């Protein structure tokens, strides 16, 4: 190799190295990962506060950070009068109002006099506690009040079969069918009280008047009541003679317990002494879901036969059963709006085809709204306004849907979410 060629190669390598070093700088506009912006800034909604987190820049010459805030359509204004230090990676904004939306961005001030900006992030603080079951991990997970961020994912050995909120004790009941255990969890994911031994628990319901939990046991072919003492693992009441129980629903206003069986029977019991008050034989397949209309004391029941579902309205005052809908496709969940008596119906449809439907009907079966092109599964109603939170297996997101079928907000991509519970203390 001649000295001229060698010199030329050295020059090329030096220039290339210089260019590589410059472009590895996260503030370099030519950096393919950051395009010169601050990355990783996150505004996280909570109750009356918005928290911030960001990865501190590992560069010389960073003097500090400042967060800017504005309302949608407004102009950015700095929060506070001093910077966070150059080593800082978190902060918070307590000057917010619940259920109001704010936009934030991070500014890094540099010794050169320049500054760098993060992309904006949005947060809507509020009191909601949004809990999810995910099958992909599996896990019990919590989202921020605006569902924009995952706060934590508490891994489980296998996917839970059900989750319910106990408002008396402010805990969650979760059922692990494979392990034969029902546990109570705080809203931070910690175990509370004693573990309950139940053979193959398949469904849960909690009467929130006293915090009594009812568990349908496929392994023992009975329904078992526990509580209200969270530290007492002994059964308090037992319902037998219900065939193979599949669904249990306990009332809070109407102190009743409803049990649906694989054999297609629906039983209504008085909660305090488990006396049977009504029984229906629907002859339309196994019972798949029950939702109580506590204002009237009645119940909605979905049955399944041959891949299709029928929907009944059962009135314990008269003993009548009225078939309201027929031919529904793969009903996954039902929920009654206590303010209006309207019923939300989640039809999953054929798995993996986005052929499901979320619909809203009146007590008389009149359809108010139908949303298609999704694969809905578990649902829960917002305690504030009766809008619907639905886990969508098509997008792997939690959707917040209003009574007109509009999506108000959606979560980040999750790991196969299939159940949701929403609580406002």
Q: What is the pLDDT of residue 48?
A: 98
For 224-234, write each residue's pLDDT tens digit.
999 999 999 99
Asked if 279 contacts 271 with a C-beta cutoff of 8 angstroms, the reply is no
Hey, where are the domains in the chain? Answer: 42-123, 129-423
CA angle 308, 396, 368 (to 5 degrees): 50
Residue 31 pLDDT: 52
Distance (Å) of CA 357 to CA 23, 344, 347, 394: 48, 10, 5, 12
What are the phi and psi torsion angles at 290 (to 5°)?
-135, 135
What are the pLDDT tens digits along the chain (425 aa)? 444 444 443 343 334 444 444 455 555 555 545 445 799 999 999 999 999 999 999 888 999 999 999 999 999 999 998 999 999 999 999 999 999 999 999 999 999 999 999 999 999 999 999 999 999 999 999 999 999 999 999 999 999 999 999 999 999 999 999 999 999 999 999 999 999 999 999 999 999 888 999 999 999 999 999 999 999 999 999 999 999 999 999 999 989 999 999 999 999 999 999 999 999 999 999 999 999 999 999 999 999 998 899 999 999 999 999 999 999 999 999 999 999 999 999 999 999 999 999 999 999 999 999 999 999 999 999 999 999 999 999 999 999 999 999 999 999 999 999 999 999 99
Question: What b/e sequence results for 71-93 when a residue is b if at least 16 CB atoms lie within 10 Å of its CB, and e otherwise?
Answer: eeeeeeeebeeebbebeeeebbb
pLDDT reported for residue 307: 83
Chain Cα centroid distance, residue 255: 27
Q: Which residues face 236 on adjacent strands?
A: none
pLDDT of residue 303: 99
Res 293: pLDDT = 98
State the pLDDT at residue 306. 87
Residue 3 confidence (pLDDT)? 47
The pLDDT assigned to 424 comes to 98
* Residue range 42-123 in CATH 3.40.50.150: no
CATH number for region 129-423: 2.130.10.10
pLDDT of residue 27: 53
In DSSP terms, which residues pair with 245 in a beta bridge?
261
Closest C-alpha among 229, 222, 224 to residue 214: 224
- pLDDT at position 58 is 87
Taking CA atoms, 184 is separated from 160, 202, 300, in Å, by 12, 16, 27
H or E stretch including 326? strand 320-328
């Amino acid at each position: 190799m001649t000295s001229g060629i060698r010199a030329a190669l050295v020059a090329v390598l030096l220039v290339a190295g210089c260019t590589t070093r410059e472009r590895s700088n996260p503030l370099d506009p030519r950096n393919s990962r950051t395009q010169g912006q601050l990355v990783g800034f996150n505004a996280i909604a909570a109750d009356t506060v918005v928290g911030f987190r960001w990865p501190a820049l590992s560069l010389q010459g960073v003097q500090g950070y400042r967060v800017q805030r504005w309302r949608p359509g407004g102009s950015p204004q700095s929060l506070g009068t001093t910077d966070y230090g150059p080593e800082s990676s978190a902060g918070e904004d307590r000057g917010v109002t619940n259920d109001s939306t704010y936009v934030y961005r991070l500014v890094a001030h540099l010794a050169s006099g320049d500054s760098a900006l993060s992309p904006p992030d949005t947060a809507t603080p509020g009191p909601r506690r949004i809990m999810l079951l995910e099958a992909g991990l599996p896990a019990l997970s919590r989202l921020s009040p605006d569902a924009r961020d995952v706060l934590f994912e508490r891994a489980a050995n296998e996917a839970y079969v059900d989750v319910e909120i106990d408002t008396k004790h402010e805990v969650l009941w979760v059922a692990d069918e494979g392990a034969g255990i029902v546990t109570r969890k705080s809203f931070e994911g910690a175990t509370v009280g004693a573990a309950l031994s139940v053979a193959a628990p398949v469904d849960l319901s909690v009467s929130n008047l006293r915090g009594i939990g009812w568990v349908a046991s496929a392994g023992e072919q009975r329904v078992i009541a526990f509580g209200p003492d969270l530290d007492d693992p002994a059964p308090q009441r037992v319902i037998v003679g219900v065939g193979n129980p599949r669904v249990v629903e306990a009332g809070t206003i109407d102190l009743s317990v409803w049990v649906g069986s694989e054999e297609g029977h629906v039983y209504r019991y008085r909660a305090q002494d488990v006396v049977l008050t009504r029984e229906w034989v629907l002859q339309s397949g196994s019972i798949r879901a029950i939702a109580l209309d506590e204002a009237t004391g009645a119940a909605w029941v979905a049955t399944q036969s041959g891949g299709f579902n029928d929907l009944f309205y059962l009135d314990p005052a008269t003993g009548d059963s009225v078939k309201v809908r027929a031919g529904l496709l793969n009903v996954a969940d039902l929920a009654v709006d206590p303010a209006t008596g309207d019923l939300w119906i989640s039809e999953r449809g054929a798995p993996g085809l986005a052929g499901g439907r979320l619909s809203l009907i009146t007590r008389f079966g009149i359809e108010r709204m139908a949303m298609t092109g999704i694969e809905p599964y578990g649902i829960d109603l917002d305690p504030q306004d009766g809008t619907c939170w639905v886990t969508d297996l098509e997008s792997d997101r939690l959707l917040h849907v209003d009574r007109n079928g509009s999506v108000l907000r959606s979560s980040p991509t999750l790991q196969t979410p299939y159940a949701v519970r929403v609580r406002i203390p």
